[in-house]
Structure 1
Amino acid sequence: MTEQLEREALYIHPSENSSLVLSSSPLDGKNFLPWNRSVYVALGTKMKLGFIDGTFSRPTIDSATFEQWRRVDLMVMSWIWNSISKDMVESFMYVSSSRELWLEIQAYVTKLKKIWNELMCLAPAPKCTCGGCSCGVNKGIAERNENTQLMQFLIGLYESFDNERSQILMQDPIPDLERAFSMIFTVEKQRAVQTDLGDSSRHMAY
């Protein structure tokens, strides 16, 4: 990246602050492609794509631009968080850079899509064949199918998620598959962070 491009990437307009939203439709697990495009374009117009695609990587801590880079990177992180639905955003709070956040979102969506595909293979959704259905049966079938997929997802969880499974089943109304997946994903990330902290503490002790 040239010095001119770096200066532009590190510039924050006075009207831009941490409450800025990049997409009019928050990421909810079902709208990743249009959301991804919207955020990508928004960051591109602000010359901030380098922070999420890895082309403007973190400078060394003794670099003259380190603090400025970190400030802008944190700003980009906040913009992306603001563009994620409240039900999902907690799943992505355990990251240290906007690049890591972007990769986490992609991994989340890929994993969710894989689960959807696996569940659809196990229990494909039945469809009304009468044509131009107006009796509402299609809606009922879709709701029943989603509940079935949710149950299959919960049943397939490891025993270590027994408490989370019970909490989900006790909620009224029971959350949909995307929300349940987000809850489990968040717990999984929290445990990973705690494990890393525990390992770091043990290494320091020695």
Structure 2
Amino acid sequence: MVLSWIVNTLERDLSDNVLFTNVAIEIWADLEKRFEQRNTPRIFQIKRDIATLTQDQMSVSTYYSKLKGYWDELSSLNALEACSYGALKSILAREEQQHLMQFLMGLHESYVTIRGHILLMSPLPTTQKAYSLILQEERQRQIASNSTINNESMAMLSISNKKNGSGINGITKSRHNLRVPTAHSKAVKVVLINNQPATMYKPQSIKLITYSP
């Protein structure tokens, strides 16, 4: 039954090569050796990509996700051999430490301080914990950066308004009742807009005379 399942799930060119093998375990061992050899170039490529991967302009989340994708694929290609529980635990702990070092080495140099704090922790945190700490640091920086930008924008706006002598709406309005000498000495109501006089009410019979200060 197992033999039939293996043969039926193989591609035609592979099933023809194992068609006359009567033992399932022999077919499985043969296939394992073939695909193990084919995986070697891909394993080499993944390890090279991991060694050269750096954060650069990527966010911490994007960088970690890309690195974890390489780790997961590499783990699927490198099957663990049968061993005792103690040996397996030791292998996994060594692999976890290797992942932590690879993650920290590829971080942008702006995280050098928090990276140093993580390396001084005893025991060393897991890669997931280190990622969480770095991500928190990134978010705090973004909040501080946004606050700085807002403060600078408000300062620039205030300076610009002072230079232009303008208020909230860009125009400073002040109203005064000015008595200007005329033929009949009547008051003329004037509005100053940006320090320029604009007559609001001026009878046609009155001639407005402007005096320079």
Superposition TM-score tier, normalisation by shorter sequence: 0.3 to 0.5
| Structure with the largest fraction of strand | 2
TM-score (structure 2 length as normaliser): 0.40
TM-score (structure 1 length as normaliser): 0.42
Q: Quick check: which has more Rg, 1 or 2?
A: 2
